Amino acid sequence: MSRLVVLAVDDREPSVPEGLTEAERAVALLLFSGCTNDQIAVARGVSERTVAKQVSAVLQKAGVASRTELVVRMLGQVG
């Protein structure tokens, strides 16, 4: 679903939640783009296990329970 949302508003820049590390910020942007954990791992040159931990941290710090909620939150914070 997140890919559909992004395609519908592709001219807008996402707002990354505050308090993320640099790595978590990169993961959040890749999640926003609709990437899977495997795709994120390849793009970042890390293991899927590392990505899974980073995804969990991003969701927790953003105060959301799912990737879809994260995308909605990132779109909602766009000025």
What digits encode the pLDDT tens for the residues 29-51? 999 999 999 999 999 999 999 99
| pLDDT for position 13 | 79
| pLDDT for position 40 | 98
Dihedral class, residue 45 (left if φ above 0, else alpha if ψ from -120 to 50, else beta): left
Q: Can you tell me the distance from the alpha carbon of 39 to that of 48, in angstroms, rounded to the nearest whole number?
A: 9
- pTM value surpassing 0.85: no
16 within 8 A of 28, measured Cβ to Cβ: yes
The domain total for the chain is 1
Domain that holds residue 19: 2-76
List the CATH number of the domain containing 59.
1.10.10.10
55 within 8 A of 37, measured Cβ to Cβ: yes
